[in-house]
Structure 1
Amino acid sequence: MQYEIPTEGHIPLLDITIPIHWENHALLMFGIWFALVPFSVMLLRFGKIRPRTYGIPRGTHKWAWPEFPWSLHKHLLYAMIALSLAGVGFAMVLSGGFSGTLHGWFGIATVFLGLLQGISAWNRGSHGGRKDPQANPEDRSTWGGDHFDMKPRRWWFEAYHKTAGYFTLFCAGGAVATGLSQFWITPIAIAFAGIVFAGLVLAVLLQGLGLKHDTYQSVYGTHPDHPFNQMRFGKMFEAKDEKP
């Protein structure tokens, strides 16, 4: 059944009817999910500091380099969740509720998964490490934290947050594609294709240039005594020493 796109919407709170400019909804949601989100993801993926022995220097302000990519990623995520909820909320109010179309399902899935991304970030656990404000740089026993020790809480946070993040972008792509099938906007269609292609090329190029660094080593460093370095590389060396 073909969904008829309304051209006017009623705002119950104000008891007024206004014309609906769907291009504004499209521009807002496209700008969020295919401009700001990819930028924040690419910045964090390829903008991390090159690993040093002890990682990010102690006392670095969260908005100064090299803490900047993490801070921007987090705050952009929260802002994008709020704007997405507003965009979906206004669309549903003005159109009289959930449309039930494929675009509607993709859109709801995108915003719901995006909201879960923000909620999951609250459960990433404590940081720890030499640079932690509560730690004594000279006393390793004070460096403990969920991330530094890579405890199960942090391990499962990363497993979910990274995987679900890419799946959220897939749903966002579905929302754009199905939205264009209902309400064609040539500039957005061109931009959509261009961003997807440019993102692929840029990701391959930056990966090939060696700019993707391991998160743990970027944050805490390459020192062999760090718990997660021992966990990974200790097992690697044990495997090499095994007899065939």
Structure 2
Amino acid sequence: MEKQGHIPTEAYVDFLGRTIEIHWNYHAILMVLIWFVLVPICVISLRYYKPRPTKEGITVYRTISRPEWVWFHIHQYGLNFAIFMSLAGMTVALAVSGGISGSVHSVFGLSTIGLGVLQGISAYFRGSHGGRYYNNADQNDPKAWEGDHFSMTARRRRMESYHKTAGFFTMACAVGAVGSGLMQFPMPILAGVIIFTIVVLLAVSIYREHKGKRYDTYRAVFGNDLEHPYNKEREDL
């Protein structure tokens, strides 16, 4: 199969004063690595690699140097990097192709990146963390533990409702973007890499799920003490 004829193979760059060849395979490789490797790793890290809940939860402050928080920082910084690189890839693609083409690939691609950006924005509305061991909280004063996450305020609930749900739709759009992109610009080797990656990530997820490693985030972080607000609310679960 050959790439479709309407895809530009070269572009004139004003500030360079010359025409350059467009290597769409670089764009394809970048986007596949972002959305089929990096993003799933960041999601699986949060879903299956949190520490097992204890009565106290994580008893150290959330800093990047603490191994107890590796799962969270992979998710946070990995997805921020994915959003940044996706925006860079999109900007270059729009520049060299002369704008939005209106193709199925462009619709799925822009939707994916748009939802990805909203995922990053929504995370900044998560509010304060709180908890017995957060920052300089008085470990003997429950009032000092209050925070949007620890207390599961309406703000935190809204953020989680959107962030967790929209993430699935973002990945669905990513599948559409990559699939339609490879239909326009076939790369059999890259398609094979995608299939292999999906199989590996699926196997890891199934294995961790089977081993019971999908711990509740609230209980993993703050502990399973039934006196904690969100544990008390779900004590029958």
Using structure 1 for the length normalisation, give the TM-score: 0.92
Give me the whole-angstrom Cα distance separating, in 2, the residues matched to 1:101 and 1:197: 29
Say yes or no: does 1:132 pair with 2:139: no
Give 1:3 deviation, angstroms: 6.5
Give me the whole-angstrom Cα distance separating, in 2, the residues matched to 1:15 and 1:116: 36
Give me the whole-angstrom Cα distance separating, in 1, the residues matched to 2:47 and 2:61: 23
Give 1:79 deviation, angstroms: 1.1
Say yes or no: does 1:66 pair with 2:68: yes
Q: Which residue identity is paired with 1:39?
A: I
Gaps of 5+ in 1: 238-244
Residue 122 of structure 1 corresponds to which residue in structure 2?
A: 124
Secondary structure (helix, strand or coil) at the match of 1:66 reads: helix
Residue 218 of structure 1 corresponds to which residue in structure 2?
A: 220
Residue 10 of structure 1 corresponds to which residue in structure 2?
A: 12
Residue 196 of structure 2 corresponds to which residue in structure 1?
A: 194
Give me the whole-angstrom Cα distance separating, in 2, the residues matched to 1:60 and 1:125: 15
Residue 203 of structure 1 corresponds to which residue in structure 2?
A: 205
Q: Which residue identity is paired with 2:227?
A: D
Of 175, 178, 193, 2:177 maps to 175
Residue 157 of structure 1 corresponds to which residue in structure 2?
A: 159
Secondary structure (helix, strand or coil) at the match of 1:228 reads: helix
* Residues 1:142 and 1:3: Cα distance change in structure 2 (over 3 Å): farther
Residue 36 of structure 1 corresponds to which residue in structure 2?
A: 38
* Residues 1:18 and 1:85: Cα distance change in structure 2 (over 3 Å): same
Residue 55 of structure 1 corresponds to which residue in structure 2?
A: 57
Q: Pairwise CA RMSD of aligned residues?
A: 1.4
Structure 1 moving runs of 4+ over 3 Å: 12-15
Give me the whole-angstrom Cα distance separating, in 1, the residues matched to 2:218 and 2:43: 17
Residue 241 of structure 1 corresponds to which residue in structure 2?
A: none
Q: How many residues get paired?
A: 234
Secondary structure (helix, strand or coil) at the match of 1:147 reads: helix
Secondary structure (helix, strand or coil) at the match of 1:111 reads: helix
Query: What does the per-residue CA deviation read over 1:18-64, in whole Å, with 9 as the maximum and x for residues that have no partner?
Result: 00000000011111111110111111111101001111113453332
Q: Which residue identity is paired with 2:156?
A: R
Give me the whole-angstrom Cα distance separating, in 2, the residues matched to 1:3 and 1:232: 58
Give me the whole-angstrom Cα distance separating, in 2, the residues matched to 1:93 and 1:184: 22
Give me the whole-angstrom Cα distance separating, in 2, the residues matched to 1:220 and 1:127: 10
Using structure 2 for the length normalisation, give the TM-score: 0.94
* Residues 1:3 and 1:112: Cα distance change in structure 2 (over 3 Å): farther
Of 104, 107, 111, 1:105 maps to 107
Residue 26 of structure 1 corresponds to which residue in structure 2?
A: 28
Contact 1:49 1:66 in 2 (8 A): yes
Secondary structure (helix, strand or coil) at the match of 2:150 reads: coil
Secondary structure (helix, strand or coil) at the match of 2:120 reads: helix
Q: Which residue identity is paired with 1:33?
A: W
Give 1:13 deviation, angstroms: 3.6
Query: What does the per-residue CA deviation read over 1:188-227, in whole Å, with 9 as the maximum and x for residues that have no partner?
Result: 1011122223322221211010111000000000011000
Residue 78 of structure 1 corresponds to which residue in structure 2?
A: 80
